[in-house]
Structure 1
Amino acid sequence: MEKIAYGVAVIVSFIILLIFFSPVTIINPGERGIMVTLGKASPVILGEGVNLKLPLIQKIIKLTIKTETARNSTLAFSSDLQTLKVEYAILFNLPENKLFDLYTKYSGNVLNSFVTPRLEESLKTITAKYTAEDFVRNRGAVKEEVYTLLKEKVSGVVNLNDFNITNIDLSDELEAAIERKQVEQQRAKQKEYELQSALKEKEITIVQAQAEAESVRIKGNALANSPRVIELEVVKKWNGVAPTTVVTGGGGSSIILPLGK
């Protein structure tokens, strides 16, 4: 049993030594390497594949040039002094021709040392232009403004591909106030719609009444100018049944006489 344990320990130690003293480093697709010799970085960027180094003297630092997604959150103040917790996500990648400068200036941690401070500065600058309610309502516009400002700040250093606001966390009191205002606005819109509908119906009624009055006026003028119009109206309303009485008389008096069958 002791021999087995000893053998395992030897194998593990050998693997560790092999890794530590290995003269070979493999750089994967989407990665690049920077050779560091006794603490001094070389400006020559190493490509994908097998790269040799001197054990204990040299080491190869791997940096990715793939598009990365970073998520974080920060606090920002609106123009009406409300505190907003804004959660966001950014898509970015490191330009290959800037890897040496980025490594030497930011120790390879470009996101935390360079991108994040400028992102949060941009976000707070834009947030201060909006009230809390307008910030929530105009989320898309805020996103575009932050993206544009941040892209200017990191231009020439990092490729910024996209920026998104994933969540806005408000206080319970502020959320309730915004919800109440939205309900009141919906009610106001409904009342405005009902008022417009009532006014429209009133206009229709007035137009119909005016049309009927005009029709009566035209008929009255026609009767005054041509008495035979009365006969025409009688003919229009006759149901085809012969009359059973006849009206006779003169001098302003009338007598109704029955007609024989």
Structure 2
Amino acid sequence: MENVTPVKTPGLPRIWTKIIVGVVALILFLGPLRPWYIVPPGHKGVVIQLGAVKGEFSEGIHFRIPLVQKIVDVNVQIQKSETESVAASKDLQMVTSKIALNYHVNPLAVAEVFQKIGLAYEQKIIDPAVQEAMKAITAKYTAEELITKRQQVALEIQQLLTTRLKKSDIVVDAFSIVNFQFSDEFNKAIEAKQTAEQLALKAQRDLQRVKIEAEQKVAAAKAEAEALKIQKEQVTADLIKLREIEVQKQAVEKWDGKLPYYNGGAVPFINIGR
């Protein structure tokens, strides 16, 4: 049998080498241009093509046209904004409030929000809306009512904010009043009022106690008078005579049979019959 020599293909390894080198060269060339873009979780990517908004990307990897398209990330997660507001109450008391607002950008209108407002929507839209809502609702209540009706006040402010921010595609998730602060004069007035109420309550309790004690004394006096009346009605001439006999009998029982002795004098006259 004749020996069969296998056919060698010396050009095949060179082809793969060229492919690998070409891919590496392409990556090195396109790397700085970044034809791909990754939108992070909880964000939307706004596509800007030659300065104009052309759409949006959801989270994940996407391809873009280098040097033509740019991607801007817009956060659509729930965010927190804290704002301080100074407003006048219905009774013209200055109230400093610290409020917390949870909100998020409407994911279905990210491109519109970016196009109309940009990324500074908190400073441009949210803070002014909060200030306006706080002033509008605070003016409806007195300073004391702002404390006693705090939950109702917060609910009205949240409803007003929800309506106004919705026009800018900002969704309100939660609203809370962290703190109310009033002037020193108002705080002193509240403290004085509480003190006066406590003193009035104490005086009322003392008056009630004195009244009860007086009623108890009157009742005791009436009972004592009634008892004396009953005793007086029970005292008769026979009872008095009986008491005298009992007293004389006790005196006789206690006498030792000796007459009283007086120095330098005669024996005193004793009425035997008596």
TM-score range, shorter chain: 0.5 to 0.7
Partner amino acid, structure 2, of 1:173: E
Q: CA deviation at 1:55?
A: 2.5
CA contact (8 A) 1:126 1:146 kept: yes
1:181-232: CA deviation from partner (whole Å, max 9, x where unpaired): 33323333333333344445555x2795599489869x96xxx9xx9xxxxx
Q: Which one of 115, 132, 146 corresponds to residue 135 of structure 1?
A: 146
Aligned pair partner of 1:125 in 116, 136, 148: 136
Is residue 202 of structure 2 the alignment partner of residue 190 of structure 1? yes
SS at match of 2:45: strand
Distance 1:39 1:251 in 2: 128
Relative distance call for 1:142 and 1:251 in structure 2 (3 A) is: closer
The 1:252–1:192 alpha-carbon spacing in structure 2 relative to 1, beyond 3 Å, is: closer
Instruction: Give the secondary-structure state (helix, strand or coil) at the position aligned to 1:140.
Output: helix
What letter is aligned with 1:82?
Q
| Distance in structure 1 (CA, Å) of the matches to 2:138 and 2:70 | 44
Which sections of structure 2, spanning at least 5 residues, go unmatched? 1-29, 254-274
1:29 aligned to 2:41? yes
Change in CA separation of 1:64 and 1:206 when aligned onto 2, cut-off 3 Å: farther
> Match of 2:96?
85
Question: Cα distance, 1:48 vs. partner?
Answer: 1.3
- CA distance in 1: counterparts of 2:218 and 2:114, whole angstroms: 80
The residue that corresponds to 2:107 in the other structure is 96
Distance of aligned partners of 1:115 and 1:184 in 2 relative to their CA distance in 1, 3 Å threshold? same
Q: TM-score, normalised by structure 2?
A: 0.64
RMSD: 3.7
- Residue 94 of structure 2 aligns to which amino acid in structure 1? T
Return the alpha-carbon distance in structure 2 between the equivalents of residues 116 and 250 of structure 1: 104
State the TM-score, normalized to the length of structure 1.
0.67
- Residues 103, 109 of structure 1: 8 Å contact kept: no
In 1, Cα distance between equivalents of 2:174 and 2:212:
49
Q: Which amino acid aligns with 1:102?
A: V
Q: What is the Cα deviation at residue 57 of structure 1?
A: 1.4
Of all paired residues, the percent bearing the same amino acid is 28
Kept after mapping to 2: 8 A contact 1:68/1:92: yes
Residues in 1 aligned to 2:153 and 2:223: alpha-carbon distance in whole angstroms: 58
Show the counterpart of 1:68.
79
